[in-house]
Amino acid sequence: MSGVTMVPMLVVLPPSETKASGGEAPALDLSSLSFPSLTEVRREILADLAALSSDAELAMATLKLGPRLADEVTANAAVRSSATMPALERYTGVLYDALSASDLPHAGRGRLAVGSAAFGVVGGEDLIPHYRLSGTVKLPVTATGETPTLKRRWGKKITEALSDVDFLIDLRSGTYQNLGKVPDATTMTVLTAENKVVSHFNKHYKGLFARAVALADRAPESAAEAVEIGRVAGHDITLAEDGQLIFRVPV
Question: Tens digit of pLDDT for each residue in 38-47?
Answer: 999 999 999 9
Say how far residue 33 (Cα) sits from the centre of its chain.
Answer: 14
70-77 helix and 39-52 helix, angle to the nearest 10 degrees: 130
How many angstroms separate the CA atoms of 223 and 244, rounded? 7
pTM exceeds 0.85, yes or no: yes
Reported confidence tier of residue 199, pLDDT bands at 50, 70, 90:
confident
Instruction: Say what the pLDDT of residue 2 is.
Output: 47
Reported confidence tier of residue 200, pLDDT bands at 50, 70, 90:
confident
Instruction: Say what the pLDDT of residue 228 is.
Output: 99
Is residue 133 over pLDDT 90?
yes
Residue 62, C-beta contacts closer than 8 angstroms, at least 6 positions apart: 52, 137, 138, 139, 140
Reported confidence tier of residue 3, pLDDT bands at 50, 70, 90:
very low
With b meaning 16 or more CB within 10 Å and e meaning fewer, what string describes 70-84?
eebbebbbebbebbb
**Cβ pair 90, 105 in contact under 8 A:** no
Is residue 4 over pLDDT 50?
no
Hey, is 186 helix, strand or coil? strand
Is residue 118 over pLDDT 90?
yes
Beta strands in the chain (DSSP E): 7-13, 84-86, 112-116, 120-123, 127-129, 165-170, 186-191, 236-239, 245-248
Instruction: Say what the pLDDT of residue 209 is.
Output: 99
Is residue 180 over pLDDT 90?
yes
Is residue 5 over pLDDT 90?
no
The arithmetic mean of pLDDT across residues 145-164, rounded, is: 97
The arithmetic mean of pLDDT across residues 47-52, rounded, is: 98
User: Quick one: which of 172, 168, 240 has its CA closest to 202?
Assistant: 172
**Cβ pair 173, 12 in contact under 8 A:** no
**Residue 131 identity:** Y
The arithmetic mean of pLDDT across residues 147-175, rounded, is: 97
Hey, is 137 helix, strand or coil? coil
Mean pLDDT value across the chain:
96
How many angstroms separate the CA atoms of 206 and 188, rounded? 8
**Cβ pair 126, 2 in contact under 8 A:** yes
Helices (H), 63-220: 70-77, 87-90, 94-99, 106-109, 150-154, 157-162, 174-177, 202-215
User: Quick one: which of 231, 236, 232 has its CA closest to 250?
Assistant: 236
